[in-house]
Amino acid sequence: MKAATLLALLSILSAGAQTTNPHATAADRESGAKIFRSHCGPCHGVRGTGGLGPDLTRGSFFHGASDADLFRNISGGIPGTAMPGVFFEGTQVWQIVAFVRSLSGAAAAEPVTANNTGDVSHGQQLFRRQGCTGCHLVRGEGGIKGPDLSVIGSQRSAAHLRESILDPNSNVSQDFWVAKIITNDGAAHSGFVMNQDTYSVQILDFSRGLQTFPRSQFKDFGIDRGSLMPSFKGKLSDEELNDVVSYLLSLKRQPGRSE
């Protein structure tokens, strides 16, 4: 390990020994916000409302809630999850912690809306009646053509869920872009891209499972970046939409568990 790299690592470890945030001023929060938007926003959303990563606006942290815990999780990542570490120096990590803390304070000051006061039981019935389990997995039951919703209530805000139901194309994760392949023999294949390089493409074929195709066999190849999910705008009443959102919000991660 190079001396400069080792010195930087020791600096971060030393900063992480703090138990409370030594950089929590308004200026620190502003600096943390800039780093968050560029490096954390792709997973947690630019406003921290969730996406591939959990919603951070609720102030519920499942891998430790102290300032020191947040510092450790941001700088070193969380084993067993998709959360990577970030190699910033200690002050910058503390600034991110300060900004993350401010997110839950801002959310607490907002009025409660009808988005999360619907009928959870009726929302679950609607979810099944509309055929959502054909594509979405919920705690071991359902399909794989859409995101696993088992703990979606810990990952997305009510506003984000409403948008996803009414306008699914607004934010489609790269994991759910669909490859469409026609091989030289005329056979058509479609599925999620798992891996690709100069010579081959591996997809999770919707009909045949995991498949690998040499690019030399392609007659046509393209990637659809839209959503497979249809819009439910006009298909659900406002009350029904609130019920479905409330059901999805009820699907939360349990503290101490990493799923």
pLDDT score of 14: 53
State whether 35 and 159 are in the same domain: no
Is residue 210 assigned to a domain?
Answer: yes
State whether 92 and 16 are in the same domain: yes
d(CA 50, CA 36): 13
State whether 186 and 88 are in the same domain: no
Which mean pLDDT values do the consecutive 10-residue runs of the chain (259 residues) have? Answer: 46 58 92 90 82 78 86 87 81 93 67 64 96 93 90 83 92 87 95 93 92 96 94 95 95 64
Is residue 52 assigned to a domain?
Answer: yes
Give the CATH number for residue 123: 1.10.760.10
Give the CATH number for residue 199: 2.30.30
Query: Is the entire prediction scored with pTM above 0.85?
Result: no
Q: Which of 109, 126, 146 is the last residue of a domain?
A: 109
pLDDT score of 17: 58
Are the beta carbons of 107 and 58 closer than 8 angstroms?
A: yes
Which domain, by its residues, includes 149? 114-172+229-249
State whether 148 and 233 are in the same domain: yes
State whether 234 and 119 are in the same domain: yes
State whether 160 and 216 are in the same domain: no
In which region does residue 254 sit, left (phi positive, over 0), alpha (psi from -120 to 50) or beta (all else)?
beta
Are the beta carbons of 258 and 219 closer than 8 angstroms?
A: no
State whether 129 and 234 are in the same domain: yes
Are the beta carbons of 200 and 217 closer than 8 angstroms?
A: no
State whether 18 and 85 are in the same domain: yes
Residue of 24, 114, 101, 96 lying closest to 57 (CA atoms): 101
141-144 long-range contacts (CB < 8 A, ≥24 apart) are: 144/204
State whether 30 and 61 are in the same domain: yes
> How does DSSP classify residue 111?
P
Domain count, the chain: 3
Distance of CA 133 to CAs 67, 88, 116, 130, 140, Å? Answer: 38, 41, 21, 8, 10
Q: Strand pairing partners for 201?
A: 196, 213
State whether 93 and 10 are in the same domain: yes
Looking at residue 89, its amino acid is E
